[in-house]
Amino acid sequence: MADELFRPTISPTARPAGRRPWRPSSLVYPALLGGAAPVTALALVNAHRLGLPGRARAAVLGAGLAALAARVLVTALLLDDGTRGPGRLIGALAGGLAWLAVSATQKGAFRGYEMRGGEAGSLWGPGVLAVLVLGFAEALLVLTVAGA
């Protein structure tokens, strides 16, 4: 009779096919440089690559939307011009808070992926693109709301 205690829990063949996921700790850079929108979009793509369930994806999306709403609200209420100084700091803090939810939901799945022999994908191209496009869109949203 085989003992359940000694049965391996991570099999070497259970790796999902497709594109390689990014390291969740690397998503902190788009979070701090671009804000909540870039890190949320990248995290949703990464959750798909890791094969996370819908609840984890919903948690990431909810945290990202909450961080974006908090950034817009705080910038509109406290600052006259959201493009300089404290406005950038508030954007970085909002992105960092969204990243905390990403890290909490994706760290374990990525460790399992690595233990099965998987390697992390490169975040350079998608990260820079997300920071430029979505970071710019987030800045326009903040300027629109703060300027009104």
35-49 residue pLDDT tens: 999 999 999 999 999
pLDDT of residue 1: 55
The distance between the two most distant Cα atoms of the chain, rounded to a whole number of Å, is 72
pLDDT digit string, tens, across residues 104-129? 999 999 999 999 899 999 999 999 99
pLDDT over threshold 90, residue 29:
yes
Which amino acid does the sequence have at 106? Q
Q: What angle do CA 48, 64, 108 make, to 5 degrees?
A: 45
> Contact 15/113 with Cβ under 8 angstroms?
yes
Mean pLDDT value across residues 63-82: 86
* pLDDT band for position 80 (cuts 50, 70, 90): low
pLDDT digit string, tens, across residues 132-141? 999 999 999 9
Q: What angle do CA 92, 94, 96 make, to 5 degrees?
A: 70
pLDDT over threshold 60, residue 79:
yes
> Contact 49/16 with Cβ under 8 angstroms?
yes
pLDDT over threshold 80, residue 14:
no
Which of 134, 115, 112 shows the shortest CA–CA distance to 45?
A: 134
